[in-house]
A = this chain, B = another copy of it.
Amino acid sequence: MQFMKRPEPQEGELTTDRIEAFSDGVFAIAITLLILEIRLPHSEASHESLAASLWALWPSYFAYIFSFVMIGIYWVNHHYIFKIYRKTDHGFNLLNVFFLMCISFLPFPTAVLGSHLLDVDEQRTVVAFYVFGLFLPAFSWFLTWIYACFNYRLIDLRLSPKFVRYLTRKYGLSTVIYTFALILALIQPVLGLAIAVGLTFLYLLPSKKPVYVELQED
């Protein structure tokens, strides 16, 4: 990706260094905590062999891998987006805390998915709750973007309006699709999960390079 060098912040503007370092910390911790949610059932309770118990944890492994990839993708996107921000402000800092809260929440639906996916009666609830866990960061991410790009409040002034609209459509569409997957999950759990997973894998493709326009000096 080719980014233009970030403009120097004006006097009195807040730079984004601190918020990036703190966010990176939360990403790294949330992603590593996921493993704590995989737990062997107590050996006294179960009469199966250990191999069978380890095998029966496959929904937990799936949930671990998928949530790990999710958080990894958001980490990459967080870095991508901060390269085209020129500053931050108080409102954005609060929205970013809200976004991090949604990211940090993910280990819980991941644990629920891992421990109850095989319970046929509860599949609908389990999948819908997990897809809701995926929807939350997508939604809060969209909010931060809308806040930042509105009237070029925080983003690089040299970004082309067309590129800004492209990102708005992209992030808005993701939120819409996760909402749709959430509703679908209440009816057809497997299909809802498949759509949410598929959408996430699309994000593994490299992001589009930002497009800049040259600004006239004032």
Contact = CB atoms under 8 A, between A and B. Distances in A.
Interface stretch (A25-33, A152-160, A166-174): A25-33
Interface in A1-55: 1-2, 11-12, 14, 18, 21-22, 24-36, 38, 40, 43, 49-51, 54
Interface residues of A, number: 58
Nearest to A76: B93
A35 B104 contact: yes
A142 interface: no
B28 A22 contact: yes
A50 B126 contact: yes
Given A43-B119, A51-B125, A72-B97, A25 B29 contact: yes
Tallying the copies of this chain within the complex gives 4
A137 to B, nearest CB: 13
Contact of A35 (B31, B105, B116): B105
Contacts of A85: none
Nearest to A209: B12
B93 A31 contact: no
A125 to B, nearest CB: 5
23 contacts: A18-B24, A18-B79, A21-B24, A25-B25, A25-B29, A25-B32, A26-B31, A26-B32, A28-B29, A31-B104, A32-B104, A34-B104, A35-B107, A40-B111, A43-B116, A43-B119, A50-B112, A50-B119, A51-B122, A51-B125, A64-B101, A65-B101, A76-B93
